[in-house]
Amino acid sequence: MQTAIWFRTICRNNGFDVTDEQLHQMESFVEKILFWNKSINLISRKDEENIWTSHILHSAAILFKVRIPNNSKVLDLGTGGGFPGVPLKILEPTLHITLLDSTQKKIKVVQEILKTLQLSDAYATWGRAEKVGGNPEHHGKYDFVLARAVSDLATLVKWSLPFLRASKSGRREDGRQLGYLSVNPPALLTLKGGDLETELSRARRHKSVKDIQTIDLTLKGADQLEASDKKLVVVRF
């Protein structure tokens, strides 16, 4: 069983410090997921013993590759049990994050988890992306859309666009540190696996896509991800 201390060590090895409070929140999140997973399928049952590697680290790996600017408004599309949104909110508290899923019972659990963890500026919303994206409360309100194991890339592009703010001229300063990819909003950040060539080709045909970049999720000291085909796909609009 992987431990929270192991997770903190991996974070430090990859240039990301985790405070005691953040580590405690992440442990509480894991406990809640495992508790609710007994009655609601938030993650695969076979993944429970590997939750720190298969879900927590996989979600957090976004922040090892891309620095999301402080105070960004972020939508976690198809969040399921709160991935990757909740781990990212814990590690980057300034984010204003909305977690969206079309399964109501999952969203009710996520709402309960957010309340227990006392995460501010974090909200869970139930609904289908195709409909919620047209709601004035959400339409054009977000800097970034996150997604993990939701749909093919072309479909994610189509679902994401209504949520994203219009592109602004000029560059936005984000305090990027050396070694991290600089990404200015609006953009889609999605965790994918497998052979992506066909997906990438289809997504690039969309007239709103400026460019797409794939990043290997290789991490120092984390053989679990190094041995996988997991990638972070960054779509700029």
CA distance 191 to 230: 7
Backbone angles phi, psi at 170, to 5 degrees: 85, 180
Burial call 53-92: b when 16+ CB within 10 Å, e when fewer: bbbbbbbbbbbbbbbbbeebbbbbbbbbbbbbbbbbbbbb
First to last CA, the chain: 40
**Rounded to whole angstroms, what are the CA distances from 45 to 59, 84, 97, 191?**
18, 18, 27, 21
CATH number where 141 lies: 3.40.50.150
3-state secondary structure (DSSP) of residue 94 = coil
CA distance 203 to 235: 9
DSSP letter assigned to residue 55: I
Q: For residue 231, which of 66, 98, 83, 97 has the smallest C-alpha distance?
A: 66
- pTM summary value: 0.91
CA distance 15 to 37: 32
> pLDDT of the chain along its 237 residues, tens only?
458 999 999 999 888 899 999 999 999 999 999 999 999 999 998 889 889 999 999 999 999 999 899 999 999 999 999 999 999 999 999 999 999 999 999 999 999 999 999 999 999 999 999 999 999 999 999 999 999 989 999 999 999 999 999 987 555 444 445 567 888 999 999 999 889 999 999 999 999 999 999 998 888 777 656 546 789 999 999
In the structure, how many helices (H) and strands (E) does the chain have? 10, 7
Residue range(s) defining the domain that contains residue 198? 4-236
**Rounded to whole angstroms, what are the CA distances from 19 to 29, 41, 121, 184?**
15, 30, 19, 27
Q: Position of tokens 């400026």?
A: 210
Task: Give pLDDT, residue 171.
Answer: 52
Q: Where are the alpha helices (DSSP H) in 74-214?
A: 85-91, 104-117, 129-132, 153-160, 197-204
Domain count along the chain? 1
